[in-house]
Structure 1
Amino acid sequence: MKLAMIGLGKMGGNMTRRLLKHGIEVVGFDFNEDTVNQISLTNGMIPATSVEDAVAKLSGEPQKIVWLMLPSGEITENQIKDLVPLLNKGDIIVDGGNSNYKHSQRRGAWLAEQGIHFIDCGTSGGIWGLENGYCLMYGGAKEAADIIAPIAKALTHEDRGWAHVGPVGSGHFTKMIHNGIEYGMMQAFAEGLDLLKGKEEFGLDLAQITELWRHGSVVRSWLLDLTAEALAHDQELATIVPYVADSGEGRWTVVEAVDQGVAAPVLTVALQARFRSQDSKGYSYKLLSLMRNAFGGHAVKTK
């Protein structure tokens, strides 16, 4: 089986490496030629010099599959439009980035008119997915979803970590809510640890406590694992600026809660706390920034 991967950044590059490791042929393209050359030489990816070249190297496949790992918004929008003349009816475009689900619904409807399948795939797992496997939640027609199932299994695990969750739009919607929940979980850990640190009379060791919580505690989780590991190296976080970015999906989740008239106070406050971080010097914001870096490789502002 062969596919084209367009976008070889942190996530796309690691996904490509995992696919190659599990026997899926990948034609890869990125505007960073060094990245293309590196993955080709070290992992056996078929290099492409352009998107057109990548698609052309899928000739002979019964259905061309083009997987996009690009920033949401105009870049993804334009790339999908540019792909249409290069594809045939029945071919498949997968958007594995963090697009707004409403945009995915619109794109899917338009591509269906062109006879091209569209899969919107929410991708979780961050920089650790290469070794541990990703979590894929994708939407689209069953016919197309069945075709990409072997790819999903290679990126995750044979029997878990992947699911066709519904029609076009449902994959990115599910990932959006996932990220909203993530905001709330991270905020709870950050605030709790800030309170522990603030009780100076006890002289609490946060590295010891977070490691303790990892075993048997009801709050144990991968986020806690990452936080405990980070605190074992540095509890003061003196070099980290207490600035926490939001990638967009947290905002979209809160807007969705308003649209549905569903109370989501934890998710809303967690989002607003990130907005407030730009004007604060709190320890909790440093922890939030540290967690984002630990699971996703997101940039940390340092002094």
Structure 2
Amino acid sequence: MRIALIGLGKMGANMARRLLRQDIEVVGYNRSPDIVNQLAEEENLIPAESLEAAIAQLPAPRIVWLMLPAGEITEQTLQTLPGLLQPGDIVVDGGNANYHDSQRRAAALAEQQIGYVDAGTSGGVWGLDEGYCMMVGGERAHVEPLIPVLQALAPARDAGWAHVGPPGAGHFTKMIHNGIEYGMMQAYAEGFALLQGKSEFELDLGQISELWRHGSVVRSWLLDLSAGFLQQDQQLANISPYVADSGEGRWTVMESIDQGTAAPVLALALQMRFASQDDTAYANRILAKMREAFGGHAVKSE
């Protein structure tokens, strides 16, 4: 079996490696050719110098899997592809896309008899060794040809991947997954901050995080990762307190508003990320001045 993988960033490159090591032939294209050449040399990737060249090396019906950043580059690529493909071909978007965009794109490609599958992909940099969790949306007729690829990417042939619903359902499921991730990460962060703040007990956060990994109801892979770095460095003094948000947390909170479904934990976790990104902290400056104005409380100067 042969597919084209377009976009060989950190996740895309490791997905290519995992597929190639399980006898799936991969034609790879990336705007920066260095990773293409590296994978060709190390893993026998079939290199392509352009999107057109990648598709030209595929047998019909073609499968083109995109691992591109959400936004303009994905949109441009999906507008270009119909002119290069034929009826019966399948496009898979494995990046983080808004599910509304996925529904629109599926409908547009269907008019040209080209299949569209949205594959929410979780696993990060660990996916090469551990496998990826694949949340797949699309018509059954378009998903079934992908099963060997999904089985190769997943942790096991019968676990870690699922066809969850029609077009858009895969990216919707991944969006909610990421919203939950925000909440879990925020809860762990606040808990460890409270432990670290109780200086009189001289708590060993590395020891406690390792303790919680065994038998505790709060054990998880996120805790496993936290235990790993806390055992090396508990103070994290060299880490900037800035936490980015990739967009899916925002989409999750917007969905809760659209549905009228309460999601206060997810919403507050997102707001805490925004707070970490506020370089000016202007709102806090306003708060300090209000306290000074009504109560004569001292204001600290930078």
Q: TM-score, normalised by structure 2?
A: 0.91
Q: Aligned AA for 1:117? A: G
**Counterparts of 2:64 and 2:143, CA distance in 1:** 14
Residue 125, structure 1, aligned to residue 123, structure 2: yes
Determine the structure 2 residue equivalent to 1:299: none
Q: Aligned AA for 2:115? A: H
Residue 102, structure 1, aligned to residue 100, structure 2: yes
Determine the structure 2 residue equivalent to 1:296: none
1:221-261 C-alpha deviation (Å, 9 max, x unpaired):
00000000011111110110000000000000000000000
- Where do 1:56-71 residues align within 5 Å? 56-58=56-58, 61-71=59-69
Determine the structure 2 residue equivalent to 1:28: 28
Q: Aligned AA for 1:17? A: R
Q: Choose which of 78, 81, 88 in structure 1 pairs with 2:79.
A: 81
1:102-141 C-alpha deviation (Å, 9 max, x unpaired):
0000000000001100000000000000000000001001
Q: Aligned AA for 1:248? A: G
**Counterparts of 2:260 and 2:205, CA distance in 1:** 39
**Counterparts of 1:201 and 1:167, CA distance in 2:** 55
- Where do 1:215-230 residues align within 5 Å? 215-230=214-229
**Counterparts of 1:62 and 1:109, CA distance in 2:** 22
Determine the structure 1 residue equivalent to 2:300: none
Runs of 4 or more, structure 1, over 6 Å off, are none
Residue 92, structure 1, aligned to residue 81, structure 2: no
Overall identity of the aligned pairs, in %: 64
Q: Aligned AA for 1:187? A: Q
Determine the structure 2 residue equivalent to 1:55: 55
Unaligned runs of 5+ in 1: 281-303
Determine the structure 2 residue equivalent to 1:267: 266
CA displacement at 1:170 relative to structure 2: 0.2
1:152-193 C-alpha deviation (Å, 9 max, x unpaired):
000002110000000000000000000000000000000000
**Counterparts of 1:165 and 1:150, CA distance in 2:** 17
**Counterparts of 1:195 and 1:159, CA distance in 2:** 41
**Counterparts of 1:89 and 1:104, CA distance in 2:** 19
Residue 136, structure 1, aligned to residue 134, structure 2: yes
CA displacement at 1:279 relative to structure 2: 3.9
Q: Aligned AA for 1:247? A: S
CA displacement at 1:275 relative to structure 2: 0.3
Residue 237, structure 1, aligned to residue 236, structure 2: yes
**Counterparts of 1:190 and 1:141, CA distance in 2:** 40
**Counterparts of 1:258 and 1:220, CA distance in 2:** 30
CA RMSD of aligned residues (A): 1.0
Higher alpha-carbon Rg: 2
Unaligned runs of 5+ in 2: 280-302
Q: Aligned AA for 1:27? A: V
**Counterparts of 1:235 and 1:70, CA distance in 2:** 35
**Counterparts of 2:229 and 2:112, CA distance in 1:** 49
CA displacement at 1:98 relative to structure 2: 0.1
Q: Aligned AA for 2:248? A: E
**Counterparts of 1:279 and 1:6, CA distance in 2:** 35
CA displacement at 1:278 relative to structure 2: 2.4
CA displacement at 1:3 relative to structure 2: 0.2
Determine the structure 2 residue equivalent to 1:16: 16
Determine the structure 2 residue equivalent to 1:3: 3
**Counterparts of 2:33 and 2:169, CA distance in 1:** 34
Determine the structure 2 residue equivalent to 1:211: 210
Determine the structure 1 residue equivalent to 2:161: 162
SS state at 1:174 partner: helix
Number of residue equivalences: 279
Q: Aligned AA for 2:14? A: N
**Counterparts of 1:49 and 1:24, CA distance in 2:** 20
SS state at 1:262 partner: coil
**Counterparts of 1:114 and 1:11, CA distance in 2:** 30
**Counterparts of 1:111 and 1:84, CA distance in 2:** 7
**Counterparts of 1:12 and 1:278, CA distance in 2:** 28
SS state at 2:64 partner: strand
Q: Choose which of 93, 110, 126 in structure 2 pairs with 1:112.
A: 110
CA displacement at 1:31 relative to structure 2: 1.1
